[in-house]
């Protein structure tokens, strides 16, 4: 993580949250590979959020429980985002013949907004989790920047991607909690 530009990560994420219409034209034209985008953007942000989640979890749980919950959250968010990308790519690239990077950028950049608020909201255990739905606005603004996307297709990809970004990490999180014997009702 020594080559990570945290100032850039913060600025890009803040712009995606506050003024997505200004950052999407540049973000959608990036040609990073999935490996580069994950390594240079998604993983560092998810790691920082995981550290925050660990610190919040330490208030309510012992060290091992807090660490376990944090690791499960980290794994669920990263793998869930990857599967959300695959689903988005299937529709956007295979059915509508758009570039693979377009699906990758849409999923990763809007998914980061979900990961931030959902992870912290889960750790706090309050209504803060509802703020995670702000990623839908970010995704919607990104889809609005794609010129050849018809309104019906825009609606379809918005629903498909949103459901994938929301549901897949949550399902993976719950499955991992079951596998490791952590009660979902205590959390």
**45-73 per-position pLDDT tens digit:** 999 999 999 999 999 899 999 999 999 99
Spatial distance between the Cα atoms of 122 and 132, rounded to a whole number of angstroms: 10
Q: Average pLDDT over the chain, rounded to whole? A: 90
Q: Are 158 and 136 in contact (CB under 8 A)?
A: yes
Q: Report the percentage of the chain scoring pLDDT > 90.
A: 70
CA torsion through residues 124, 182, 82, 70, sign: positive
How would DSSP label each residue in 5-28? -HHHHHHHHHHHHH-HHHHHHHHH
Closest-CA residue to 123 (of 181, 35, 58): 58
**Mean pLDDT, range 77-94, rounded to an integer:** 94
For the full predicted model, state whether its pTM sits above 0.85: yes
**Mean pLDDT, range 28-33, rounded to an integer:** 87
Q: Residue 40 has which token pair?
A: 């240079």
Spatial distance between the Cα atoms of 51 and 102, rounded to a whole number of angstroms: 30
At 184, is the pLDDT very low, low, confident or very high (cuts 50, 70, 90)?
Answer: low
In this prediction, residue 187 carries a pLDDT of: 47
In this prediction, residue 2 carries a pLDDT of: 60
Rg (CA), the chain: 16
Q: Report the number of secondary-structure helices (H) and strands (E) in the chain.
A: 8, 0
In this prediction, residue 33 carries a pLDDT of: 86
**Position with higher pLDDT, 111 vs 150:** 111
At 182, is the pLDDT very low, low, confident or very high (cuts 50, 70, 90)?
Answer: confident
**Position with higher pLDDT, 126 vs 175:** 175
Closest-CA residue to 25 (of 105, 86, 96, 81): 105
Lowest mean pLDDT among 139-143, 156-160, 179-183: 179-183
Q: Residue 95 has which token pair?
A: 């059915």
**Mean pLDDT, range 108-121, rounded to an integer:** 95
Helix (H) or strand (E) holding 125: none
């Amino acid at each position: 993580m020594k080559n990570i530009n945290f100032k850039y990560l913060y600025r890009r994420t803040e712009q995606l949250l506050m003024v997505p219409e200004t950052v999407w034209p540049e973000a959608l034209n990036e040609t990073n590979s999935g490996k580069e985008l994950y390594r240079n953007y998604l993983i560092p942000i998810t790691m920082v959020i995981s550290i925050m989640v660990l610190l919040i979890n330490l208030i309510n749980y012992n060290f091992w429980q807090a660490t376990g919950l944090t690791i499960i959250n980290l794994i669920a968010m990263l793998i869930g985002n990857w599967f959300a990308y695959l689903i988005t790519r299937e529709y956007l690239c295979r059915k509508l013949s758009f570039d693979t990077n377009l699906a990758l950028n849409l999923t990763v950049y809007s998914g980061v907004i979900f990961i931030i608020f959902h992870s912290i909201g889960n750790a706090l255990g309050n209504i803060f989790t509802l703020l995670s739905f702000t990623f839908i606005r970010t995704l919607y603004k990104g889809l609005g920047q794609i010129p050849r996307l018809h309104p019906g297709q825009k609606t379809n990809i918005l629903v498909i991607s949103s459901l994938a970004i929301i549901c897949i990490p949550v399902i993976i999180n719950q499955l991992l909690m079951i596998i490791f014997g952590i009660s979902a009702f205590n959390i």
